[in-house]
Structure 1
Amino acid sequence: HRSNQLNIVIFALSLFFSDSALSLVLRQLGIMVSRESIRQLLSHIEIKDEPDIDAVGIDDVCLKKGQSYYAVIYDAHDHHLLALLDGRDGKELKKWLKNHPCIRTVARDRASAYASAVAEILPDCMQVADRFHLLLNLLERLRKILQEELPNTIFIQDEEILDHKPEKEYARVQYDRSVLESLHYDNTPPVDEQGQIIPYIDKSESRTTTRYLLRDEARKKKYQLVKEIRAVWKQDRHIKKKELEKRYHVSNMTLRKYLNMSEEEVEKLLEITPYKKRDTPVNSYLNIIYKMLRDHVKPSLIYAYIVYSGYEGSGRSLEHHIEAIEANNFGKTLSKSWNVKAQYPKTIEEIKRSDTLKFITITDKEKMKNTKVAMYYPKLKEKFPVIEKCETIWKSFHEIIIGKDPEKIDEFIEENKKTKSKGFIEGLKKDIAAVKNTISSPISSGFVEGGNDRYKLVKRMMFGRAGQMHLFEKAYAISIIMRTGIKASQLIENWLHEDGRIKRKEGILCDTF
């Protein structure tokens, strides 16, 4: 039997777990409650509509990105969730607004569907555009302007901006000394789990070359020839050796050798005869190479580690051995550029277009004072005049949008209506009333973004797949608890009373929850 206290505790915990996860957690505590029972508790949340609400914030959120979207509405005063409406085309929003005629202020982003819905249902309502989205819209426009005028990467040599892309140089891949010091391999023979030495092919010549492939084919032909001669000799004891010599084009000495071989010697004909290994500087590192390749270490790092370990031989010889051991024992063929990296000369400095835009729009430029952009910014503005134009547009709009004079936005529009930012300007003109309200109104959409963060937390960690209403109930309960100070127990207090569950004195509800 679940007591009132236990129901309240389960309900409170269900707001911060998915139903399935909470069921498993409670099971470990000896409380057997199914996820369906937990879901039923959530359905008893008392959701209060507020028809007299006078200020709200509206935005859209997704259940599954690119597929399912909701319109979300928050109270502008205490910022708790009011509604989660299906779709973001404004249809459901219109129905909701009709039931809340007292609304006088709406904070929203730049979505035209919401603007149209509010204007249609509540024409006297003041709409406030979001400052963040206004600045984001201008940022996107400036990014497109710079894309037309600036290359993705700006190259500087001898403190001068180059007009062309420099040629890259090719050099062996380099690793930090700390990376090489972290590796510990010795040249002892590799062993398996039972401690047995692992034989491997350590020749510098790859088994995939034409030379080896031809010899492999010759070994197979010889093996078949020997097997056939021995089979004929065994089956027909009356056949003479002269006939076999003539039939198979072999000498008497060779024929006698084939016939006198044991079965083990015949099978060994398929084995590769190892060539005599020349004494080279690489020989002292072959076991290391094999063990590192077995451990899936990058071949370029193996090369660097061997050199770091004291190898003084030919670099190409070392590369050739790494390639051969990889191909002969692990069946992998390395690319021609596995140990080289294309890079610009050290005298070349690079500045990304995105970093330039970041420097233009950042408010506290001291944070980027040690960057290459800050160092060469005067030269960049001289080389690309569009940078200074973008900087001027951004500064003037930023000052207006965080200022207190909404009439300055008209001056900004007039000054920039013929510039490359005219697309952004046209958007401001269409939404001019909401933009001016952004400057003059004390209400902004900051609380909407905070509410969206809470919604995302619920969706990703505590929701599951129980449907829109279940998602709303969880998000609503959490926002009420966090923004109004109401306890979780108070959200289902009426249900407990109506069901006759509370029979003790007032105060039975757990103070903690």
Structure 2
Amino acid sequence: MGRTVRIAARCSEPNAPCPVCGTMSERVHSRYVRRLADTAVGAQVTAIDLLVRRFVCGNTNCAKRTFAEQVDRLTFRYGRRTVTLQRLLERLALDLGGQAGSRMAEHLAVPISASTLLRQIHRLEVPGVPAVEVLGVDEFAFRRGRTFGTILIDMHTRRPVDVLPDHTSDTFAAWLREHPHVKLICRDRGGSFADGAQRALPGVPQVADRWHLLDNLATAVERAVRRHRGCLRPLQPPVPDSEPAPETSAQQRVRDRWAEIRALRERGLQIQTISARLGLDRKTVRRYYHAAQVDSLLQIRIGGSSVLDPYKTYLTARWEEGCGNAEILREEIHARGYRGGRKTVRRFLNSLAERRGPVPGPQPPLKVGDVVRWIVGRPENQSETARQSLKDLCDRCEHTQQVSRLARDFTAMLRRREGHQLTDWLTRADDSQIKELQTFANGLRKDLAAVTAGLTLHWNSGPVEGNVTRIKLLKRQSYGRAGFALLRRRILLAN
């Protein structure tokens, strides 16, 4: 019928059981047509016009006088949809929420509003809390940084068993008193859950999460490395001696003229005779005549002096340090008395580059985050460059070397679950005189039993963190407007 598929059907069973007493009845009281919405057929809206009968209950002691027959796996009491469609809409509501579920239902040719989908969630029955032996607990934010709730996980099934409206120790302790079957509690380093568990079940062991221990260690290492960040700048390699610059044509003429005059002098000719033979001024001939070495003549500037001469030594040193910006160098020598222009400085820098070649700039300092990752991370997953950089840093900084040794010993103990070595490590941390690691060690002593269990047992809060991530997705699907009752149902019932 246009864009709709209509199916006419009727029940064929001769009798039906009473929903109250279960008595089978064949006595028909009346008939009526019941219209049921069903899943789409050929991407078209589908409806079933089902002719059902109303029977009379034959049990005189039953409170039900008449009842309508139900079709197994097709209808349910007071339902205007088939069982298949009802389950489909419930999954859409639980997995996608109101608005997203409504949009998906349009594509499935089962149009439904967002409010109706949310009502399907509220009609679902929340299962009771099972007997949990190993409990995982963590907090999550209803509103980031302001209001928080608590998620409780069965560590065997990795499924949530309950959601609490806050993250206080009183609420958690009250829940534990109602469920005394808990034998082990996996938690983070938060104090509220530790206090609540201690008050409600004082003899139950607690396990601190290894990821949080590693994160606390990384924070302490970062502060320790940052305190010695001056050591992060690598040693600069020595600048190789540059090759002597080639002689200019003027210098070559000076060298040839000195050799010529020197040869005439050795033949016994005087200055006046040499001047007349070469056509040179007597003063010029005299200077070459009395010069014992040609280098003394080459040191004399050909072409006159420059206003930049007093600053060339400084500019050469700065250029070798890696600064080749003419404007910056002009400002520096301007403060020293230079009154020339930037172009003069630029020409001098160009001449240095032509004679000596480009000078590599200084290597940048190491980043604190990279150093922390090299220290705390797995050595087998690091590149050879990272390992060499960390080794060079430890060679020139004894403080970082000590931090790296202690931190790597702790991470090895954590990954191998060798909790029996924790006491020795705490003593070494106190003797190291590194205040950041001493603070970290003092924090471990305050929760020593749970930390030791976390470094020994295989339990950790990974499944709990995964469920917290899933809660964030469910919250965002509701655009932050989901109340606690609706969010709790989605957390417990959604896959």
Residue segments in structure 2 that go unaligned for 5+ positions in a row? 1-79, 240-320, 328-342, 344-358
Tell me, yes or no, if structure 1 residue 361 matches structure 2 residue 376: yes
Say yes or no: does 1:389 pair with 2:402. Answer: yes
8 Å contact kept, 1:158–1:347: no
Superposition deviation, residue 424 in structure 1? 0.6
Task: Please state how far the C-alpha of 1:155 moved relative to its aligned partner.
Answer: 4.7
Distance 1:88 1:434 in 2: 19
Letter aligned with residue 361 of structure 1: V
- Paired amino acid for 1:360: I
Q: Matches of 2:230 and 2:163 in 1, distance apart? A: 44
Offset, 1:346: 3.6
Query: Is 1:417 aligned to 2:430, yes or no?
Result: yes
Which residue number corresponds to residue 62 of structure 1?
Answer: 141
Please, what TM-score do these two structures have when normalized by structure 1? 0.55
Deviation at 1:77, TM superposition (A): 0.7
1:349 aligned counterpart, secondary structure: coil
In structure 2, do the counterparts of structure 1 residues 152 and 14 end up closer, same or farther at CA, with 3 Å as the change threshold?
Answer: farther
Give the paired residue count. Answer: 302
Structural mapping, 1:211-290, within 5 Å: none
- Amino acid across the alignment from 1:349: Q
State the 1:417 CA deviation: 1.9
- Determine if the alignment matches structure 1 residue 455 to structure 2 residue 468: no
Q: Is 1:84 matched up with 2:97? A: no
Runs of 4+ in structure 1 off by over 6 angstroms are none
Q: From the CA coordinates, give the structure whose radius of gyration is larger.
A: 2
**Post-superposition shift, 1:395?**
1.7
1:401-440 paired onto structure 2 within 5 Å: 401-418=414-431, 419-420=433-434, 421-440=437-456
1:150 Cα deviation after fit: 1.5
- Residue identity in the other structure for 2:176: L
How far did 1:109 drift?
A: 0.5
Distance 2:326 2:107 in 1: 59
Q: Could you tell me how far 1:440 is from its partner in structure 2? A: 2.7
2:130–2:161: 8 Å Cα contact kept in structure 1? no
User: In 2, Cα distance between the equivalents of 1:128 and 1:169?
Assistant: 59
Tell me how far 1:434 sits from its aligned partner.
0.4
CA distance in 1 between partners of 2:94 and 2:204 (Å): 35
Q: Within 5 Å, which residues of 2 pair with 1:49-448?
A: 49-50=128-129, 52-151=131-230, 154-158=233-237, 170=325, 346-350=360-364, 351-365=366-380, 367-370=382-385, 373-418=386-431, 419-420=433-434, 421-448=437-464
**Cα deviations by residue, 1:137-166 (Å, 9 ceiling, x for unpaired):** 111011111111124962542179xxxxx8
Provide closer, same or farther for how the CA distance between residues 38 and 365 of structure 1 changes in structure 2, counting only shifts above 3 A: same
d(CA) in 1 for partners of 2:324, 2:135: 60
- Equivalent residues of 2:129, 2:162 under 8 A apart: no
Partners of 1:171 and 1:13 lie apart in 2 by: 67
Alignment gaps of 5+ in structure 1: 161-165, 173-315, 317-344, 482-513
- Which of residues 25, 44, 55 in structure 1 aligns to 2:104? 25
* Alignment-derived partner of residue 332 in structure 2: none
> Which whole-Å CA distance do the structure 1 matches of 2:178 and 2:164 have between them?
14
By relative contact order (CA 8 Å, sep 6+), the higher-ranking structure is 1
Q: Distance in 1 between matches of 2:371 and 2:418?
A: 30
Counterpart amino acid of 1:363? R
Alpha-carbon distance in structure 2 between the residues aligned to 1:149 and 1:449: 34
1:376–1:396 Cα change, 3 Å = closer
Give the CA deviation at 1:41: 0.9
Structure with more strand by fraction: 2
- Amino acid in the other structure paired with 1:380: L
Amino acid at match of 1:446: G
Matched, 1:471 2:470: no
SS in 2 for 1:381: helix
Partner of 2:7: none
| Aligned partner letter, 2:363 | E
The one-character-per-residue Cα deviations of 1:242-290 (angstroms, maximum 9, x if unpaired) are xxxxxxxxxxxxxxxxxxxxxxxxxxxxxxxxxxxxxxxxxxxxxxxxx
Provide the secondary structure at the position in 1 that maps to 2:158.
Answer: coil
Question: Aligned partners of 1:138, 1:14: CA distance in 2, in Å?
Answer: 42
State the secondary structure of the residue aligned to 2:123: coil
Q: Is the 8 A contact 1:400 1:406 kept in 2?
A: yes
Report if the CA contact (8 A) 1:359-1:368 is conserved.
no
- Cα distance in 2 for residues equivalent to 1:159 and 1:451: 55
Shift of 1:399: 2.2
- Percent identity over the alignment is 22
